[in-house]
Amino acid sequence: MKRVRVIASGRVQGVFYRATCARLARRLGLGGSVRNLADGRVEAVFEGPERLVDEMVDWSRSGPDLALVERLEVLAEEPVGDTEFRVTG
Protein backbone atom coordinates (compact mmCIF):
# COMPACT_ATOMS: atom_id res chain seq x y z
CA MET A 1 0.00 0.00 0.00
CA LYS A 2 1.08 3.53 -0.76
CA ARG A 3 -0.13 6.97 0.34
CA VAL A 4 0.83 10.32 -1.17
CA ARG A 5 -0.29 13.92 -0.79
CA VAL A 6 -0.20 16.03 -3.95
CA ILE A 7 -0.58 19.79 -4.19
CA ALA A 8 -1.38 21.18 -7.63
CA SER A 9 -0.71 24.82 -8.49
CA GLY A 10 -1.89 26.76 -11.53
CA ARG A 11 -5.38 26.98 -13.01
CA VAL A 12 -6.82 24.15 -10.91
CA GLN A 13 -9.90 25.64 -9.23
CA GLY A 14 -13.16 26.15 -11.11
CA VAL A 15 -12.14 23.69 -13.84
CA PHE A 16 -13.63 20.45 -12.41
CA TYR A 17 -10.28 19.32 -10.99
CA ARG A 18 -11.80 18.10 -7.70
CA ALA A 19 -14.81 16.43 -9.28
CA THR A 20 -12.79 14.64 -11.94
CA CYS A 21 -10.13 13.63 -9.42
CA ALA A 22 -12.75 12.15 -7.09
CA ARG A 23 -14.50 10.27 -9.90
CA LEU A 24 -11.25 8.70 -11.11
CA ALA A 25 -9.96 7.87 -7.61
CA ARG A 26 -13.27 6.21 -6.70
CA ARG A 27 -13.26 4.26 -9.97
CA LEU A 28 -9.80 2.95 -9.05
CA GLY A 29 -10.97 2.09 -5.52
CA LEU A 30 -8.55 4.46 -3.78
CA GLY A 31 -8.98 6.08 -0.40
CA GLY A 32 -8.17 9.68 0.41
CA SER A 33 -9.57 13.11 -0.32
CA VAL A 34 -9.37 16.19 -2.51
CA ARG A 35 -9.98 19.82 -1.55
CA ASN A 36 -9.49 23.38 -2.70
CA LEU A 37 -7.00 25.43 -0.70
CA ALA A 38 -7.61 29.10 0.10
CA ASP A 39 -4.57 30.15 -1.96
CA GLY A 40 -5.97 28.72 -5.22
CA ARG A 41 -4.17 25.37 -5.14
CA VAL A 42 -5.78 21.91 -4.90
CA GLU A 43 -4.61 19.28 -2.42
CA ALA A 44 -5.33 15.58 -2.86
CA VAL A 45 -4.39 12.49 -0.88
CA PHE A 46 -4.37 9.07 -2.55
CA GLU A 47 -4.03 5.74 -0.73
CA GLY A 48 -4.11 2.26 -2.17
CA PRO A 49 -2.05 -0.11 -4.31
CA GLU A 50 1.16 1.52 -5.54
CA ARG A 51 0.35 1.19 -9.26
CA LEU A 52 -3.06 2.85 -8.84
CA VAL A 53 -1.73 5.66 -6.64
CA ASP A 54 0.99 6.31 -9.23
CA GLU A 55 -1.72 6.45 -11.92
CA MET A 56 -3.54 9.20 -10.00
CA VAL A 57 -0.30 11.12 -9.43
CA ASP A 58 0.34 10.99 -13.19
CA TRP A 59 -3.20 12.25 -13.86
CA SER A 60 -2.69 15.04 -11.31
CA ARG A 61 0.20 16.45 -13.36
CA SER A 62 -2.25 17.60 -16.05
CA GLY A 63 -5.72 17.27 -14.47
CA PRO A 64 -8.92 17.64 -16.51
CA ASP A 65 -9.02 19.32 -19.93
CA LEU A 66 -9.67 22.85 -18.63
CA ALA A 67 -6.90 22.79 -16.02
CA LEU A 68 -3.38 24.12 -16.41
CA VAL A 69 -1.15 22.53 -13.78
CA GLU A 70 2.00 24.61 -13.45
CA ARG A 71 3.50 22.74 -10.50
CA LEU A 72 2.78 19.51 -8.65
CA GLU A 73 4.28 18.74 -5.25
CA VAL A 74 4.23 15.05 -4.31
CA LEU A 75 4.80 14.10 -0.66
CA ALA A 76 5.02 10.50 0.52
CA GLU A 77 3.09 9.63 3.68
CA GLU A 78 2.56 6.54 5.78
CA PRO A 79 -0.64 4.65 4.84
CA VAL A 80 -3.41 4.98 7.43
CA GLY A 81 -5.95 2.51 6.03
CA ASP A 82 -8.09 5.04 4.12
CA THR A 83 -10.59 3.16 1.94
CA GLU A 84 -13.10 5.91 1.03
CA PHE A 85 -12.43 8.88 -1.25
CA ARG A 86 -13.95 12.20 -0.15
CA VAL A 87 -14.31 15.70 -1.56
CA THR A 88 -13.79 18.31 1.16
CA GLY A 89 -13.40 22.08 1.23
**Residue 4 reports pLDDT greater than 80:** yes
Q: How big is the chain, counted in residues?
A: 89
pLDDT, tens digit, for every residue of 19-71? 999 999 999 999 999 999 999 999 999 999 999 999 999 999 999 999 999 99
Annotated catalytic residue within 5, 11, 23, 36: 36
Q: What is the pTM (predicted TM-score) of this model?
A: 0.96
18 is catalytic: yes
pLDDT for 89 equals 77
